[in-house]
């Protein structure tokens, strides 16, 4: 496993890990899958990502300490994509834990973000980064931290000041990072996608803002997704 990576480098997929997650997804969803099964699969994916990262970093001495701390939210201006399983888990958490006023405020933030991004390429959207904080970011903190997307569990930096400078200067990261974090989460994501494809459920990755808007626009998103319907726009 590579220790360091750079922004332009593609992340590696650990095929063994991806296959295990795929098998788990197939087993969970193919035998009478229901809402509880979907939520269990999402929870397992999130906890597996955390466990692998924590275990690796306990067992291996890292050359540089990670600077990320609670309340440090500079990376929360990156645009995030999620698998449908993640989107369903996050949407359910919002539905169960947000008040009506909090939900309405979230939908307003999502609507604004989608309007800013509409019709633009990824490169043009990247230039709007300072104007596009994550819609789930409230007062500098993630409002769904326990069920935050897989990729958010990988994000980190060696110097918080560098992250702040890159955001303020509207530059994309070129600093070194620990590659193992991304290898773990992309392998889990890959396994989820392959497993869901095998059982006939919508797969791929979707924009987080669009996915949450679609979740709440659907009459019964989990049931529809389990039936093989397209719940989330590409």
Q: For residue range 55-76, what is the model confidence (pLDDT) as tens digits?
A: 999 999 888 888 888 888 888 9
Check residue 172 and give its pLDDT.
67
Q: What is the pLDDT of residue 135?
A: 98
Look at phi and psi of residue 196 and say left if phi exceeds 0, alpha if psi is from -120 to 50, else beta: alpha
The residue written with tokens 């201006």 in the block is: 77
First to last CA, the chain: 32
**Lowest-confidence range among 77-86, 132-141, 176-185, 198-207?**
176-185
In three-state secondary structure terms, 136 is coil
Average pLDDT along the chain:
91
What mean pLDDT is predicted for residues 151-165? 87
The answer to whether residue 171 scores a pLDDT higher than 80 is no
pLDDT in tens, 103-125: 999 999 999 999 999 999 988 98
pLDDT score recorded for residue 10: 52
Share of the chain above pLDDT 90, in %: 71
- Give this prediction's pTM: 0.93
Beta-carbon contacts of 206 under 8 Å, excluding residues fewer than 6 positions away, are 81, 82, 83, 84, 87, 214, 232, 233, 234
- The Cα 19–Cα 45 span in angstroms is 13
Per-range mean pLDDT, top range of 9-18, 31-40, 62-71, 147-156: 147-156
Asked if the model's pLDDT at residue 8 lies above 60, the reply is: no
């Amino acid at each position: 496993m590579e220790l360091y990576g750079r922004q332009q480098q593609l992340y590696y997929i650990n095929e063994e890990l991806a296959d295990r997650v795929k098998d788990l997804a197939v087993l969970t969803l193919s035998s009478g899958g229901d809402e509880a099964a979907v939520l269990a699969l999402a929870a397992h994916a999130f906890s597996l990502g955390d466990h692998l990262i924590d275990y690796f970093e306990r067992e291996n001495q890292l050359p540089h300490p990670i600077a990320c701390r609670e309340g440090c939210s500079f990376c929360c201006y990156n645009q995030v994509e999620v698998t449908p399983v993640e989107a369903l888990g996050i949407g359910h958490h919002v539905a169960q834990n947000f008040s009506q006023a909090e939900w309405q405020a979230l939908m307003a933030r999502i609507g604004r973000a989608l309007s800013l991004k509409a019709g633009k390429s990824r490169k043009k959207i990247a230039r709007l980064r300072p104007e596009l904080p994550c819609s789930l970011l409230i007062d500098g903190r993630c409002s769904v931290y326990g069920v935050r997307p897989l990729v958010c569990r990988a994000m980190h930096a060696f110097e918080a000041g560098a992250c702040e400078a890159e955001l303020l200067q509207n530059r994309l990261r070129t600093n070194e990072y620990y590659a193992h974090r991304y290898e773990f989460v992309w392998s889990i994501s890959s396994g989820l996608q392959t497993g869901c494809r095998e059982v006939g459920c919508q797969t791929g990755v979707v924009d987080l803002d669009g996915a949450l808007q679609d979740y709440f626009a659907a009459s019964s998103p989990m049931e529809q997704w389990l039936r093989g319907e397209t719940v989330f726009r590409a």
